[in-house]
Structures are given as structure tokens and as C-alpha cells.
Amino acid sequence: MGVNEFGSKPPDVKVPPAVAPSNDRQAEIAEWRTKFGLDGHSPATDRPAPHVAETRTDHRSVTERALDARLPIPTVNRDAFERSPVREFERGLVRQGFPANQIDTLRQVLRHEPDLCVTYGGSKAGAELLRDFARVGTVPFERYAMPKSPEVDALVHKAVGKQPGEYVSQHDLDQLLKTVADDRNTLLRKGFSETEVDRVRSYLVRDTGRVPRSDLAQPVMTSDGMIHTNSEEAVRHDRWRMVDATVDSPLSTGVARWQGADLDTVEHVGHAATLIHDAVGAFVMHTTAVRDGIAAAERPPVSPTHVPEAMRGPRDTDSYAKELFTIRDRAYQLALADAHEIEDKHGQRLNAAQFGTRVHVNFGALANESVRQGRLPQDFVVNVQTRLGQDVRGLDAWDKSTGIGFDITTATSRSVESHEKHVGVAATDGTMIKEYLPLVYPPFKQTRRTLGWE
């Protein structure tokens, strides 16, 4: 690998093809070889090779300098690439009079029609050299680095099953890395010692910049079939799935999450709710109103301090969730009424923060009233401001017995996700928040349209 297999002469690849082309392509191939100087001639005429002006700092021709400017070859480890057979083949083309743009054209032709490497290479080694030449500029330049010592060069040739001086291709090195990383015993059975295998691996990894498959981050597939580069990305993706499902169908998915459903089930619930919402929405609203009327007629009157027996035992999850979302809707509607009143009386329009403050104040007052009347459990804590100007931090409410926290916020991914930080953190009264459910209302831009401000 450390010796140019073509000897001291330019690598003109003049060995006859291993598989002779058909007669109808002989003229085409001859013209191609002449055009690209593979028969030892200049692409135009038999003019001598261009003179290379020598200086103390740069001995390359104008063509070589232009060619180098097109390739991603920085100063670091430049000598490693300069000593490769591929670079020597490239110099041979320059000496034959090729300008940089024609050498680039030759690479593109070989990349788009890789079978030409076999046709015009003339041998297996010649075809491999042309393939690697075509890849210059598309792979890191370190891939072409030569072994730094004759001993390592001999070990590499032995490992790939080639004689000293034979050309070792990039494909050979790629396959050798797989063997070194995944099946060292193959080389040990060939007579290599552990130290020799490590030297080969060091050359492949440190000198040529190759990365063993075992060192790459293993991809992770989430339950929706998406592939992610690592587990952290997969976890982040699943969190966004839960946020999106909750924002789209907060009531249905909130109940599902409350009952311990996994992510896939929550998504299915959200999708189903979205599909049937328009079709049966009116029917559901009517049926709910009828049932609530019947239940109200049959329910005995309660005092504000009385807690129904049913609320002391197992919780009625559906009624619990329905009450919270009813409070959210009423708080939002009252805030809309406040906004209209302020505009009518004072000629001022609320901004997003001012409108959100009124939603929170209304929610706090309504939630406390529901707790007093028994529609919410007695250990349901309301933490929002109950008057304008009050500063309250943390989640807006939580259930002390279950550790589920709630926050009334706008229906945007950023707003919903910003409250996830409270999960796993103790609330102001010491309750450990185990899960967070958002109570979302329309974003302020949509609210402005509802108010007729846009």
C-alpha cells in the first residue's frame, strides 16, 4: 500500500480491460481514453507537459494549485494525502496537461457511471483506484492517509489479503475496520497478535478518521415508528407528542392521562376525540345538559361546607375533570366580558399579560367556590391569584392525594411545556407533583379575533 503500483511512470491505466467491450463500443472507448489522456496523450494534442515554475515555497503548477483549491484539504495532515496513490494518479493527469476543470469532470463521470471504472481500469486494482479517485472531495481527506510506518503498512496488506505493494482501496479499509471492531478473532486466526490488531485499528481510527460502528450513537425507535439518533432525542420527541396531544384535545387526553394511560393510548384518545368532535359535538352537548339537569333535580341541596359522601371515597374522575374544564371555560368567558367592559368604559384594550391575569383571577375564584360546594375535593389546592396585583408562583392548582398539578395557560406548545419543570418538585404546601395536566384556553391572537380587535 505504501508503493505506487504503477511504478515511477504516471498511472495512465493502460492495462487491457479485464472484460473486452463489444465491438460497437470500441470506437467510443478509444475516444474516451484519448480524451482523458489514459493512453499517455494530452487531451488535445501531443504537446509536451506544461512547464512547472519552481519557487522556494510552492513547486506546483497553476493547474495543481487550482485543483487543490477545489478540494477540502487543509494544512493539517496534508502530507498524508500527498503520499497516497490517488494523489499520484491525480498528478499524472496534471503532467499530461489536464486542467483542473477536466479532472473534476472525469471524477463526475466516474461517480455517475461507476461501471466505467471497471471498463477503463483494466484490472481490479485499476478499477479500485479509479473509484477512490472519483470519491475525492466527497469523503474526508483523512481517508486517503497512508500508514506512517512500513510495519503497519505490511500489517494492513496482510489483513486485507494483498501482497506488499498492491493497492489497498478505501473499500478494503472500510471492510477491515468492521473486522477489527466486530470480529478480531478473524485476524487472530490469521496469525496476528493482539498488539498487531491494535496497531491496525489505531491506523484506521486515528490516521484515516474512521469511526467503528460500536462508537456511534445507537438509533432509537419510538412507538410511533420514528427513528432517532439517541435516547435523549427519543425522550424529547415523546414529550412533544404528549404536549401536542394534550393541546389538541385537552379534556379527553386529560382524563386518559389522569387514569394512567400510556402515550400511545393518549394519542389515540386525542385523535378519536378530534375526529368525532364536529360530527357529534352538538349531540354530546345536548345530552350532557339533559343529564346535568336530571342529576341536579335528584341531588339534595348541600351547604357550602358540606362534602358529599361520594367525594370522600373513590373519586369520580369524569365529574372531577369535567368540573375543572367547565371552570376553565367560564374563567375565559368572564375574561372576555371584562375585556369588552374595559374597552367600552375606558377605551383601552387589554394586552396578553393583562388578559391572562384576569383568566387566572376568575379561575381561582371559581375553583375555590367549587371546593366549598363539594364539586371538587376538599384536598384540591388552588394557588392562583384571587385579585389583581397579587403575585403567586408555581402551578395554579394541585390535588394533594394524587400529586397531579394543573395550570391554566394558553394553548401553545411553548406555554404548555414551560410548566413541565414543576413535575418532580414539591409544591408550596409540600405536595410532590407527580404529573402535570394543562388547562388550556385559546392563544391571545385568537382571542383578539374573538373580541373583534382584528
For 201-244, write each residue's pLDDT tens digit. Answer: 999 988 888 887 766 556 777 777 777 777 778 788 787 777 77
Domain ranges of the chain: 1-146, 150-163+171-216, 219-299, 318-454
HSE, CB side, 13 Å, CA atoms: give it for residue 207: 21
The pLDDT score that the predictor gives to residue 61 is: 58
Task: Provide the grid cell at 119.
Answer: 471498463
Query: Could you say which residues of the chain have pLDDT below 70?
Result: 1-80, 214-218, 247-249, 251-252, 255, 258-259, 271-318, 385-392
* Cβ-defined contacts of 158-165 (< 8 Å, 24+): 158/190, 158/192, 159/187, 159/190, 159/192, 159/200, 162/1, 164/3, 165/1, 165/2, 165/3, 165/5
Pairwise CA distance, residues 185 & 195, whole Å: 13
Pairwise CA distance, residues 367 & 328, whole Å: 9
Pairwise CA distance, residues 207 & 417, whole Å: 45
The pLDDT score that the predictor gives to residue 56 is: 41
For the four alpha carbons of 145, 149, 150 and 152, in that order, the dihedral sign comes to negative
